[in-house]
Structure 1
Amino acid sequence: MGLISDLPCLLSGCLLLSTLGEGAVANKTSTRSRCPPDYVYISGWCYVAFGDLLSWSEAYLECARLTEGASLATIRNEQDQQILGHLLASTTARKQAWIGLRRSNGYRWVWVDGSRFRLQPFDLLPWSAGYDCAVLDTSGDSPTWVAESCSNKNSFICQMPT
């Protein structure tokens, strides 16, 4: 790899992303073959944040168009939540992004990839009635989840298998 071929990665913050935490690896390293450029690798998944403002359903469809098995992001643990919060802050000017968590039948929260929703170890803000979709909110000291109306327009984070 020459300096010129590394320039886009340097300009887009790949080096910054490689310091986000253990398990988060930017494409500048050996995971380049696993994830497309501008994606971050975390535990078998490639993640990317989009600054486009879409409703939850529109964001869901955009993620699904990336590749087979792609979806809005599932946050599996607190470390992933921190890394994805940094990804959002470093690649978009947005403070909130849709994630793959949605209320089903008006009361039960489910992840779009079928993963089990667990309240622990996350520190959640109160959920509001009628707000059936979740965003990752980075406006505070650390990322958290907030329920919003699914028709609101937000940026979004997608995941795809490696």
Structure 2
Amino acid sequence: MMGQATSYYEGSTSLKPLRGDCTRKHKEDPEHHCYYWKCAVALGVVLAIVSSAFVVTVSAVLLLMRPSDALVSHAVPSLAPPFASSPASLFVSYCPKKWVGYGGKCYYFSEEEKSWNASQHFCSSFNASLAGIDTLQEKDFIMRYAGLVEHWIGLRRESGQPWKWVNGTQLKQQLFEVRAEGDCAYLSDVFVSSSRCYSVRNWICSKPDAYMKAKKNVMEGE
């Protein structure tokens, strides 16, 4: 028994130097640790490059998808109602700041009140006139945009004479009826009425937009 125990102990003791030699061998082998360190550094560099490329690609795609601010600032989209059939309403209207584009025209809706004559003078200073109405679709658009506020439009008559627009053309009876007995017409939220020209109201100016104006100039040049 004692011999066997001694032999086992001696056998166990004889293995210790072997483990110590193996451990010492790995500790003294710098190439083994250097290999894994280089692999880790290389993997980190590759991941950094891939991440940077992904961020740059996503940023470029988002930049291309964003609309041009220059076009948005100068182009006022046409606010045509869904039932508008005018071909000109399919174009983008180019109008001055604070003017609204629709159907080839630019409209200015005032925030203050003036008499009919003073309102027309204001519009003339912008190469425009008090708004004329050519179609029922245009009338519906103006009434909807103006809301509940009454606005002067470019329609007037002399005593006992028919209604005429500021450009001298006569109002078509099938377009709408002017109510009341005044000499200057204004637009309410539901109908067109009239009153004394010296009374004060908001007003609406209109003029051809840049597209229609350029088209007209080309046609006149021909």
Give 3-state SS (helix, strand or coil) of 1:61's partner. Answer: helix
CA displacement, residues 33-71 of structure 1 (integer Å, 9 cap, x when unaligned): xx113323333321121121000000000000012xx10
* 1:6 CA drift (Å): 6.1
| Matches for 1:45-56 after TM superposition, within 5 Å | 45-56=105-116
Instruction: Check the 8 A contact 1:135/1:147 in 2, yes or no.
Output: yes
**Do structure 1's residue 146 and structure 2's residue 193 form an aligned pair?**
yes
* 1:20 CA drift (Å): 3.3
Counterparts of 1:31 and 1:107, CA distance in 2: 36
More relative contact order, 1 or 2 (CA 8 Å, 6+ apart): 1
Instruction: Check the 8 A contact 1:63/1:158 in 2, yes or no.
Output: yes
Gaps of 5+ in 2: 1-66, 210-222
The counterpart of 1:40, out of the listed 90, 100, 110, is 100
CA displacement, residues 108-144 of structure 1 (integer Å, 9 cap, x when unaligned): 211002233112132x35332xx11000011xxxx31
TM-score by length of 1: 0.71
Output the amino acid matched with 2:197.
C
CA displacement, residues 82-124 of structure 1 (integer Å, 9 cap, x when unaligned): 10012212xxxx52000000012443211002233112132x3
Structure 1 residues 120 and 66 mapped into 2: Cα distance closer, same or farther (>3 Å)? same
Q: Look up the match of 2:167.
A: 113
Output the amino acid matched with 1:30.
V
Counterparts of 1:121 and 1:64, CA distance in 2: 25
Specify which structure has the higher proportion of strand: 1
Identity of aligned residues (%): 27
Gaps of 5+ in 1: none
Q: Look up the match of 1:126.
A: 179
Instruction: Check the 8 A contact 2:129/2:206 in 1, yes or no.
Output: yes
Structure 1 residues 43 and 115 mapped into 2: Cα distance closer, same or farther (>3 Å)? farther
Give 3-state SS (helix, strand or coil) of 1:51's partner. Answer: coil
**Do structure 1's residue 137 and structure 2's residue 188 form an aligned pair?**
yes
| Matches for 1:6-17 after TM superposition, within 5 Å | none
Give 3-state SS (helix, strand or coil) of 2:164's partner. Answer: strand
Q: Look up the match of 1:159.
A: 206
Q: Look up the match of 2:156.
A: 102
**What is the root-mean-square deviation in Å for CA atoms of aligned residues?**
2.9
Structure 1 or 2, whichever has the larger Rg, is 2
Specify which structure has the higher proportion of helix: 2
Counterparts of 2:199 and 2:124, CA distance in 1: 19
Length, aligned pairs only: 139
Counterparts of 1:20 and 1:37, CA distance in 2: 21
Q: Look up the match of 1:64.
A: 124
